[in-house]
Structures are given as C-alpha cells and as structure tokens.
Amino acid sequence: MVEKDAFRLPGLPIVIALLVLPAVAVWWFVTGDLSAAQLGIWISLMTLVELLLAAGLIVVNPNQSRVLQLFGRYAGTVPEPGLWWVIPFTAPRRKVSLRVHSLESPVLKVNDFDGNPIEIATVVIWQVSRPATAVFAVEQYAEFVGAQAETAIRKLATSYPYDAHDGMPSLRGAIDVNDELTAEVQARVDRAGVTVLESRISHLAYAPEIAHAMLQRQQAGAIVAARTRIVDGAVGMVEMALERLSERSIVELDEERKASMVSNLLVVLCGDRSAQPVVNTGTIYQ
C-alpha cells in the first residue's frame, strides 16, 4: 500500500462560507424580483451547496489521522490535525491513532534453548507509522501486533538459554536480547504499517516445577565459585607469607615446618568458622 496525502482544503473558510451563503441568499431573495419557480430552484441549489460543503468537513485531532475512501478506493490520508474540507463523497473516513501504544504480553510458558521450561513476558512499545497500510493490510492491526509479538517472544525464548554457558549469550543478557526482540517484532509487524519503538523482557523466571532445582544449582555454582576464589586467595597469602619470612630472615623453616605452617594458614583462611588459637608450648618434633 502506497501512502498518499488526500486532497483537502482548510476548513475555516468553508465554515465561513456556510454562514455567509444563507445570509446572501436571504438578501437576494428579499431584494430580487424572482418568481415562485425561480425562488424554489435557487433555494434547492443553495441547500444542495450547503449540504455538500457541510458534508466535506472533518476534524483531525492531534496524533491522529484520517484514511479516506472514494467509491471503494483509497483516496488518501489526512495526517495533519485541524479542521479540513475534503471531497464530500469520501466514505468511510476512518480514524487511525498515531499515539504511542504499550503492549504487555501475558506470561508465557515456553522452553528455552536447553529445553528448560521458563516463564517469560515482554513489553512492546509501538505506534502506527503508515495509517493506510494499517487499515487495509490487516483486519485489526492492534490484535495483529499482539499476536505477532507473542510469536516473536516464543521464537526468541527458544533461541537462547536462560543462563549463559559455553560462551553463548543468555536471555538474561538484557541489552542484546532486547535489541533482537525489537528487530524480530518489527520484521513481523512491518506489513501492518507499524513501527516498534522499543521492546524489553519484563518477566523472566524458571517454571515452578523446576524453579527449586535450578535455584539449588545456582546456589551450588555460587558456592563453588566463592570457594575457588577463597582458595586462590589463601594460596596467594600463604605464598606471600613464606616469601616475606624468608626475605627478612625472621625464622628459618625446614620443609616440615613449612608444611605445618601452610596447613595451619589454609585451615584459618579457608575455614567456614573463626579460627580458635592454640598455644603450643613445645615443638612440632615432640
């Protein structure tokens, strides 16, 4: 559908003409010398002109457009707000809102890339950019946007895992995923004359039946990561302690004493509880 501007004239001069013509006609009828037949003809013509002028007046509100049809064919669009006069025979004159719309999808239950059931919902911000296409290309463009947005969400959810692994982006990587979702929805609704301004994931969670198991897995992963970091830090501290003792010649440690010191430091640094000091009054050889 090729968009085009409809023929139109400013409506205010037409309103003035509607007010002035009856006054001129009355003055002419009063001052003129017309027969009854001539008077009837002029009254009929004046009434017809008045009706045609009044029938062509339309009001276009801000952020709204009018799509006109003339004898079943597309006659153009009136995109500018104001009072306009168009061809009286154009009908219907459909109103199309150009305002920004917000579509919040219901929470959908789908499987992610790994096959895990998840719950996902999105918010899509859109507006009509081509009114004639929105009117003639699809039956109900608002419902069409909703259906296509749901289809795009399902496709996106099956293309990525819930959590990132093996260098693969995840659904939780909001920026990249939201950009791809916007492009996917736009590709599907472009035929309806709609422009997608923004889309983002508003709800993302594991399905209830696996939520507890996945939470345990995440907790286990966090514990392993934390322990790994603790052990790396403890080994570094032990290494630094031995190097400092050796550099400053504070005490000479043989291999057995180094092993004992390393063991004690690792227990202190990696333990879950605070260390309890034990005073050794003897030697490690007794």
DSSP per-residue codes, 211-228: HHHHHHHHHHHHHHHHHH
Convert the pLDDT of each residue in 219-262 to its tens digit.
656 666 666 777 777 777 777 777 776 777 666 666 666 677 67
Highest mean pLDDT among 129-133, 173-177, 277-281: 129-133
pLDDT at residue 222 in the model = 65
Alpha-carbon distance 144 to 189, whole Å? 8
Residue 173's contacts (CB-CB under 8 Å, 6 or more residues apart) are 164
Q: What pTM value is reported for the model? A: 0.70
Mapped onto helix, strand or coil, the DSSP state of residue 199 is: strand
CA-to-CA separations, 97 to 45, 135, 136, 228, in angstroms, rounded: 38, 11, 15, 58
Question: Residue written as tokens 């419902």?
Answer: 143
Q: Specify burial of residue 182 (Cβ count, 10 A radius: 0-12, 13-18, 19+).
A: buried
Whole-number percent of the chain with pLDDT over 90: 44
Where are any strands of DSSP class E within the chain? 9-10, 57-60, 64-70, 73-78, 82-85, 90-97, 101-104, 108-111, 117-128, 194-206
Among the residue ranges 135-139, 188-192, 194-198, 273-277, the one predicted with the least confidence is: 273-277
Residue 69 confidence class, pLDDT cut points 50, 70, 90: very high
Q: Is the pLDDT of residue 62 over 90?
A: yes
Mapped onto helix, strand or coil, the DSSP state of residue 168 is: strand
- Is the bond preceding residue 81 a cis peptide, omega within 30 degrees? no
Tokens at 173, concatenated: 């990587």
What separation, in Å, do the N-terminal and C-terminal C-alpha atoms of the chain show?
97
Mean pLDDT for the chain overall: 83
Whole-number percent of the chain with pLDDT over 70: 79
Q: How many residues does the chain have?
A: 286
Note whether 177 and 202 are within 8 A (CB): no
- Comparing 170 with 83, which gets the higher pLDDT? 83
Report, as an integer, the average pLDDT of 140-163: 91
Q: Is the pLDDT of residue 57 over 80?
A: yes
